[in-house]
Amino acid sequence: MQSETARVEAFSDGVFAIAITLLILEIKIPSPDQGNLIVTLLRQWPSYLAFLLSFAYIGVMWINHHRMFTLIRRCTDALLVLNLLLLLGVTAVPFPTAVLAAHLGGPGERTAALVYNSTFVVIAIFFNLLWRYAAKHCLLQEQAALKTAQQVSVQYMVGPLMYGACLVTALFNVRASVAANVALALFFALPPTVVRKLGLGQPMDQ
Amino acid sequence: MQSETARVEAFSDGVFAIAITLLILEIKIPSPDQGNLIVTLLRQWPSYLAFLLSFAYIGVMWINHHRMFTLIRRCTDALLVLNLLLLLGVTAVPFPTAVLAAHLGGPGERTAALVYNSTFVVIAIFFNLLWRYAAKHCLLQEQAALKTAQQVSVQYMVGPLMYGACLVTALFNVRASVAANVALALFFALPPTVVRKLGLGQPMDQ
Amino acid sequence: MQSETARVEAFSDGVFAIAITLLILEIKIPSPDQGNLIVTLLRQWPSYLAFLLSFAYIGVMWINHHRMFTLIRRCTDALLVLNLLLLLGVTAVPFPTAVLAAHLGGPGERTAALVYNSTFVVIAIFFNLLWRYAAKHCLLQEQAALKTAQQVSVQYMVGPLMYGACLVTALFNVRASVAANVALALFFALPPTVVRKLGLGQPMDQ
Amino acid sequence: MQSETARVEAFSDGVFAIAITLLILEIKIPSPDQGNLIVTLLRQWPSYLAFLLSFAYIGVMWINHHRMFTLIRRCTDALLVLNLLLLLGVTAVPFPTAVLAAHLGGPGERTAALVYNSTFVVIAIFFNLLWRYAAKHCLLQEQAALKTAQQVSVQYMVGPLMYGACLVTALFNVRASVAANVALALFFALPPTVVRKLGLGQPMDQ
């Protein structure tokens, strides 16, 4: 028998860790009869880009999940179900990533970018559902925790909006939406202290 | 050296987390020369359905495993072996899921649905074996735990019966059995409070 | 910062859990154009057999690893390296399993059975190396632990011998060696109490 | 709610465990119609070599990560991000490993060896970034820990240099660079006590 939330975190960590590691399996190994290896490797750039974007997205999501659970005191069945809903989104990421990698630069790139960004919007919404429920029913009853939680609530609203904007951008210009994905990933990967110096706020900046 | 059950839970969490995450690998990535990407993606609906059903099944199974172990005080060799038997069933899930996804709507759909539901019946039986053994030999010796355990014992009997009914349904009507699978998954995913308001009981409702 | 052995166990649990779950990926999904699904599924029996054998082997190995570490008090660098050597063997299991599944019943079945059993002999030897080192340098300094450790040392010697016998058998008769693998797996999966009643001892019977 | 660094370690352990276990999936299963199984298996030696090299690399990296975190007291956002950067490198390893396995002995072997060793140089640099940041901001404030940390800092500088040397060697002679990789892996796998007797120092020798 472990503490209640410890096992939820362990299971979630497992799912995050596996989803982030499976991404590499979607990159194809060039076979020796495909000609010059350097050329074949370079031609696969959409695979590397999609891998990096999805790695950044899942990684930042894990950091936020980790931070969220440092504020959570107890589990309810509903919390478990909402957490599973978030993990459903996370485990699905390798699929839209591979679709984007296979179709970027081809005739299906708009569809692929829409599928890719839709997944991220849905995950961001699931994350907000989980957080809102937890903030209402499962938090540590300390003033500091409650104040942090309020700040986080405001910041987490930004996620769905930003990925929603990328989704809408993809309707008009696929390259611009991918560039926005890259910018978002870099932005989220910056340490909060740098962000603070730049005068910006972000979900990671607890 | 960790606590005895902690490592069983950690290992089980790992297996559940991997089995639930591997499901996505069975969904094929449409290649650019398969024509219109939207059409190809939509035509793959049995894959998405099978993914969602298996995700829900493993997810709910994990929640119940988690709840079961909050009542377990100590491990015996037999508990370890019965737990491995359950995990054997859980790790097998990606195979019948992929078989169902590949054959739903084709001539092999009856066989695929039978294989799929048989797996779930077997897992539900293994789960009952594990629970019955644990309830007899490994529980916390507190009144509250023992009372909860008795209630759970009755509720867990329902699992094999319901998936058995889906299995029999598949013999006559594959679509109806898949619809019953969807209904079961949705039912199990409802938070217990909603179920209680609807006047229904379910295994998740501890 | 966690306890020293806790993280070794967590990492090992992860590797065991993943190796045992990846086995299912080696079973091929029959495609709709391979004809009657029942026939195709049944014809794949070597895959199911190999899956079950390897699952039982890794599962029992994990139970023993778990039991071993309940007696271990501290880690040294050499323990970490010997543990990695054991994990090297465990992660390799999906490969000989798939080779056996692909060649059982064909002209390469002798080679496949030799590769399969060699892997198990090597893992059993690595397990003994790890245990012998741990028994000498890393144990809890309690009388009960030391006595258990001595008994375990004798029992663990049996593993390499039994799988060595299967290996030699495969040279003469592949079917007999596979039958011996099945018998060993069933024997190891029996709860120790049953084994004791039958008047037999086994590694699992701590 | 778990301790802060416990979950970072759990997530990292998961990623290391999965990356090290996925390596085996890149080794192809010879099909029965490829002729004599022994010959086909032996011809795949580059796959086994690449598997062993990458296993050793990730395994030793995990041992060092484990040792590093025994000295770390608290987490900051920047530590989480730098840790993710290291894990990005670790999850990528199966790809260059498979590229090396597929091209060793063929016309693309120079490119493959360069890609392979570049990955290792990059990971070694990420590891140093993480360690330097941790040593400055996140350590246990005990004299013993601080002294160990200083020694480790010097030793960790060696990693990027040695893999950098392998990278440069690959430009002139691929076989020599692979031999150097093997020598490095064996060297790192030696227990520190043996290394000390030989009068050598190494990162593992804390």
Chain B stretch 86-105, residues whose beta carbon is closer than 8 A to a beta carbon of chain C:
87-88, 91-92, 94-95, 98-99, 102-103
Residue of A nearest to D98 (CA): A29
- B179: Cβ contacts below 8 Å, ≥ 6 apart: none
Paired tokens of C134: 């741990």
Q: What is the 3-state composition of chain D as percent helix, strand, coil, each rounded to the nearest 5?
A: 80, 0, 20
Residue B190 phi/psi, 5° resolution? -65, 140
Which residues on chain D are in Cβ contact (under 8 Å) with A205?
77
Task: Give C206 to chain D, closest Cα distance, Å.
Answer: 28
- C180: Cβ contacts below 8 Å, ≥ 6 apart: C165, C166, C169
Predicted confidence (pLDDT) per residue in D68-87, tens digit: 888 887 778 888 889 999 99
Q: When comparing pLDDT for C88 and B3, which is higher?
A: C88
Which residues on chain B are in Cβ contact (under 8 Å) with C43?
none
Which residues on chain D are in Cβ contact (under 8 Å) with C65?
none
Most confident of A4-8, A99-103, B5-9, C145-149: A99-103
Predicted confidence (pLDDT) per residue in D5-57, tens digit: 778 888 899 999 999 999 998 899 998 888 899 999 999 999 999 999 999 98
The 3-class secondary structure across A1-31, one letter per residue, is: CCCHHHHHHHHHHHHHHHHHHHHHHHCCCCC
Residue of C nearest to D58 (CA): C84
In this predicted structure, the answer to whether residue D203 has a pLDDT above a threshold of 70 is no
Residue D153 phi/psi, 5° resolution? -55, -45
Predicted confidence (pLDDT) per residue in A57-100, tens digit: 899 888 888 888 888 877 788 888 899 999 999 999 999 999 99
Whether the CA torsion C168, C21, C11, C143 is positive or negative: it is negative
Largest CA distance in chain D: 64
- Dump the DSSP string for D135-146: HHHSB---HHHH
Which residues on chain A are in Cβ contact (under 8 Å) with B16?
11, 14
Chain B stretch 38-77, residues whose beta carbon is closer than 8 A to a beta carbon of chain A:
38, 41, 51-52, 55, 59, 62-63, 66, 69-73
Which run of H or E residues covers position C176? helix C174-189
> How far, in Å, CA of D72 to CA of C1, rounded?
6
The partner residue sitting opposite B108, judged by closest CB among C37, C59, C206, is C37
Task: Give B172 to chain A, closest Cα distance, Å.
Answer: 32
Mean pLDDT for chain B overall:
84
Interchain pair C32, B94: CB under 8 A: no
The partner residue sitting opposite B11, judged by closest CB among C3, C13, C36, is C13
Interchain pair A78, B16: CB under 8 A: no
Question: Which of the other chains make 3 or more beta carbon contacts under 8 angstroms with chain C?
Answer: B, D
> How far, in Å, CA of D134 to CA of D68, rounded?
9
Q: Please give the pLDDT value at position A203.
A: 41
C8 interface with D at CB cutoff 8 Å:
yes
CB pairs B-C closer than 8 Å: 110
B122 interface with A at CB cutoff 8 Å:
no
Task: Give A54 to chain B, closest Cα distance, Å.
Answer: 15
Residue of B nearest to A114 (CA): B38
- Dump the DSSP string for B59-128: HHHHHHHHHHHHTB----HHHHHHHHHHHHHHHHTHHHHHHHHHHTTSTTHHHHHHHHHHHHHHHHHHHH
State the ipTM, two decimals. Answer: 0.85
In this predicted structure, the answer to whether residue A204 has a pLDDT above a threshold of 70 is no
> How far, in Å, CA of C79 to CA of C84, rounded?
8
> How far, in Å, CA of D114 to CA of D100, rounded?
9
Q: Provide the pLDDT confidence category of residue D157 given band limits of 50, 70 and 90.
A: confident
**Beta carbons of D71 and D139 less than 8 angstroms apart:** yes
Which phi-psi region, left, alpha or beta, contains residue B173 (left: φ > 0; alpha: ψ -120 to 50)? beta
Chain A stretch 9-28, residues whose beta carbon is closer than 8 A to a beta carbon of chain D:
9-10, 13-14, 16-18, 20-25, 27
Task: Give C46 to chain D, closest Cα distance, Å.
Answer: 13
Q: Please give the pLDDT value at position C205.
A: 38
Task: Give D21 to chain A, closest Cα distance, Å.
Answer: 11
B136 interface with C at CB cutoff 8 Å:
no
Q: Please give the pLDDT value at position D196.
A: 58
In this predicted structure, the answer to whether residue A4 has a pLDDT above a threshold of 90 is no
pTM for the full model? 0.88
> How far, in Å, CA of C156 to CA of C60, rounded?
12
Interchain pair D95, A24: CB under 8 A: yes
CA-closest candidate to residue D56, choices D192, D205, D199, D183: D183
In this predicted structure, the answer to whether residue A193 has a pLDDT above a threshold of 70 is no
**Beta carbons of B202 and B195 less than 8 angstroms apart:** yes
Task: Give B4 to chain C, closest Cα distance, Å.
Answer: 8
Q: Please give the pLDDT value at position D1.
A: 37
Interchain pair A66, D95: CB under 8 A: no
Predicted confidence (pLDDT) per residue in A26-46, tens digit: 899 998 888 899 999 999 999
Predicted confidence (pLDDT) per residue in C113-143, tens digit: 999 999 999 999 999 999 888 888 877 767 7
CA-closest candidate to residue B111, choices B167, B159, B182, B160: B167
User: What would the mean pLDDT of C6-27 be, rounded to a whole number?
Assistant: 89
CB pairs A-D closer than 8 Å: 109
Interchain pair C94, D16: CB under 8 A: no
Q: Please give the pLDDT value at position D202.
A: 44
Q: Picking from A129-133, C190-194, D59-63, D180-184, which range would have the lowest pLDDT averaged per residue?
A: C190-194
The partner residue sitting opposite A21, judged by closest CB among D7, D15, D111, is D15
A1 interface with B at CB cutoff 8 Å:
yes
Q: Determine the residue type at B175.
A: R
- B142: Cβ contacts below 8 Å, ≥ 6 apart: none
Q: Please give the pLDDT value at position C156.
A: 75
Q: Please give the pLDDT value at position C149.
A: 75
Which residues on chain A are in Cβ contact (under 8 Å) with B98?
none
Which residues on chain C are in Cβ contact (under 8 Å) with B22?
21-22, 24-25
A4 interface with D at CB cutoff 8 Å:
no
Predicted confidence (pLDDT) per residue in B85-116, tens digit: 999 999 999 999 999 999 998 899 999 999 99
- Dump the DSSP string for D55-67: HHHHHHHHHHHHH
B81 interface with C at CB cutoff 8 Å:
yes
C2, C58, C115: best to mutate for the D interface, most D CBs within 10 A: C2
Q: Picking from A101-115, C175-189, D93-107, D187-201, which range would have the lowest pLDDT averaged per residue?
A: D187-201
N residues, chain B? 206
CA-closest candidate to residue C1, choices A4, D135, D66: D66
Could you tell me how far CA A155 lies from the centroid of its own chain? 15
**Beta carbons of B149 and B73 less than 8 angstroms apart:** no
Residue C161 phi/psi, 5° resolution? -65, -45
